[in-house]
A and B are shown apart, each in its own frame.
Chain A
Amino acid sequence: MIETVGLTKKYGSFTALKDLNLSISEGTVYGFVGQNGAGKSTTFQIIATLLTPSNGTAYVDGINIMEEPEKVRRIIGYMPDFFGVYDQFKTSEYLDFYGASYGLSVKERSEMIPQLLELVNLSKKHDSYVDLLSRGMKQRLCLARSLIHDPKVLILDEPASGLDPRARIEMREILKELKTMGKTIIISSHILPELAEMCDEIGVIDNGELVATGSVNDIQLKLQEQKVLIVNVARDMDRTIQFLEDDPDVLNIQRGPNGSIQFGFKGSEEDQESLIKKAVHANIPLLTIRQLETNLEDVFMEITKGVGEA
């Protein structure tokens, strides 16, 4: 449904996006993760036909954004990270204006608007002025606006940013509802656990480059090549550390509280089994050994580590 081919965006000597190749199938919810300035919004703006790429192109439902941007606009719904609203409009008038902008008839608009307000839980605010809505309500109204023409693809740039926890949960529920409706959604967010929960696939972008892509599990598995293990010993901390230091697969040993030792392990499962056996033979007083669970935040931090300091 969405494909980018060698998408590049340069501002003078600065490269905001470098040779981005993405392929997102129909009905997929794709999460785009990256630090501020990594290139997420640039990618979204190019797909939404708001920016011209310096090189490469993108296809939405097989339509080249460079050749037929008008057609692309009809099948996408775009919600930018920062947006304004027409405060003097009532919520229904606001949606009506955008419906008319997509060429919907009066009848189609009058049918669509109550449904959308219902979807985003703003039915009671039908006649309220936009000016009087809370931030969360405005976010939901903007989401409803992006759905007014029933687009196949939704491009949501940080739709939950700046919302309180309750509003974030409401937004997440709406997105889950949209997922069940079969929309293809590309979404960026800083709230990584939320992305892990609702996205089928994740792309990690760093300094304008796509550094990892795949399902959340795939990416986590990639990281597990360097899993983190924690052992607890009853006594002999120094001897245990010395034992671990002698193993070539162990790295980055750190002494923890209450007799715990955390270390990285780059070996295979067999190597791990062998290490435990050796520890038993060496009379290391092991109480427990466990693997530290990685989540999307760990993945993100691991993949993008050091970049912010550069």
Chain B
Amino acid sequence: MKSIIMNPVLNKEIRLRFRSPKSFIGIAAYLSILGLISLGFIGLTLNYDNMGVFRPEESRGMFLLISMLQLALVIFITPGLTSGVISSERERQTLPILLTTAQSSLSIIVGKLLSSLSYLFLIVFASAPLYMIVFLYGGISPSNIIASFALYIFTMLVIGSFGILASTLIRRTILAMVTTYSIAFFITGGMAIITIMLTSFSYQFYSQGNDYIWPFITASINIPIMFFSLFEPNIVDEFKDMAGLDLSPWFVFFSFYILIITGCLTIAIRKLRPRMKGKVKKLSKKVSSL
């Protein structure tokens, strides 16, 4: 843990990122837009309400709107922030020097991941006061807000891990970025479309009394659907009934993505530097077989 907090790469990246006023201008602009949307939503609702009242269910609607916007932001920005972290070092010819330092590959990869996501963490958490407007009108519990923020962080880690892996394996940043965006859009939008298509087929099976597991699986690993289910749990209950499984979709969701995160980061760590030790073992095996 200490090595992560005292990570030189993390410290360096944060120092460089927050040295530029552009970062703060970006946060200010984002919060201004989100604030305008929130206040505009309240203003329009009040304008169209005969009694001029902003009700808890409308407050809940506003919360959903802001939350989904934030999720879209996370899905859209994370690939851009993470997919160039290693490949850009390679392109700037700073990577060989970094790799000859005493830092472990784990420390470099974790430092790069956390530092690239730190800006997004800041943007998302800076918007927390805006969510407090919702509390004025009710309709949402604090646990909903905590769960949505936790899911933002988890989504960042999932897409960020893909970004880091692509950046390590692909030499050119632009290709790494295209790859990461493709994966991010597939596991969000693409999987949602697949879920809808499978659901339309599934009624045929379901009506004949057969279990149909695939919509449950695809819905359980779809980030926007699972995010929405935080507020509307019924959406996944229907898939669960179709599958005939007594399994929490959150269990599937977290198991699947924890495996993905671990797999991506492990491969990135192994591929960052040439594998010397494995080669020694292979050579010694060759020698002993002779």
Contacts and interface: CB of A to CB of B under 8 A. Distances in A.
Interface of A: 45, 48-52, 64-67, 69-70, 73-74, 76, 78, 80, 82-86, 88-89, 93, 97-98, 100-103, 142, 145, 149
B276 A83 contact: no
A65 B276 contact: yes
Q: Which 3 A-B pairs have the closest CB atoms?
A: A101-B101, A100-B8, A84-B92
Contacts of A67: 276-277, 280
Given A48-B100, A101-B101, A149-B102, A69 B276 contact: yes
B102 A74 contact: yes
A103 B102 contact: yes
Contacts of B277: 66-67, 69
B129 interface: no
14 contacts: A49-B276, A50-B273, A50-B274, A52-B275, A65-B276, A66-B276, A66-B279, A69-B273, A74-B102, A76-B100, A78-B100, A86-B16, A98-B97, A142-B97
A73 B102 contact: yes
B279 A50 contact: no
A52 B102 contact: no
A85 B94 contact: yes
B96 interface: yes
B19 interface: yes
Nearest to A74: B102
A136 B102 CA distance: 26
A162 to B, nearest CB: 13
B12 A145 contact: no
Contacts of A83: 93-94, 96-97
A97 B97 contact: no
Given A67-B280, A85-B94, A98 B19 contact: no
A122 B279 CA distance: 42
Contacts of B96: 45, 48, 50, 78, 80, 83
B119 to A, nearest CB: 15
Contacts of B15: 93
Nearest to B89: A84
How extensive is the interface on chain B, given as a class? 20 to 34
A50 B99 CA distance: 7
Given A66-B280, A80-B96, A93-B15, 10 more contacts: A50-B99, A64-B280, A69-B273, A69-B276, A78-B97, A83-B93, A86-B94, A98-B101, A101-B8, A101-B101
A52 B276 contact: yes
Contact of A97 (B12, B102, B274, B280): B12
Given A83-B96, A101-B8, A73 B274 contact: no
Interface in B6-30: 6, 8-9, 11-12, 15-16, 19-20
B97 A80 contact: yes
A80 B92 CA distance: 13
Contact of A49 (B19, B94, B100, B103): B100
B16 A49 contact: no
Contacts of A97: 8, 11-12
B245 interface: no
Contacts of A80: 93, 96-97
Contacts of A66: 276-277, 279-280, 283
B98 interface: yes
Contacts of A82: 93
Contacts of B12: 86, 89, 97
A70 B102 contact: yes
Nearest to B12: A97
B195 to A, nearest CB: 44
B94 to A, nearest CB: 4
Contacts of A89: 12, 16
A98 to B, nearest CB: 6
Contacts of B20: 88
A46 to B, nearest CB: 9
Nearest to A98: B101
A52 B279 contact: yes
A281 B37 CA distance: 109
Nearest to B15: A93
B97 A145 contact: yes
Contacts of B93: 80, 82-84
B115 to A, nearest CB: 12
A142 B94 CA distance: 11
A50 B93 CA distance: 13
A145 B8 CA distance: 15
Nearest to B275: A52
A143 to B, nearest CB: 12
Contacts of A85: 94
A88 B19 contact: yes
A100 B11 CA distance: 10
Nearest to B16: A88
Which of A45, A85, A97, A145 has most chain B Cβ within 10 Å?
A: A97
Contacts of B6: 100
A246 B103 CA distance: 69
B270 to A, nearest CB: 13
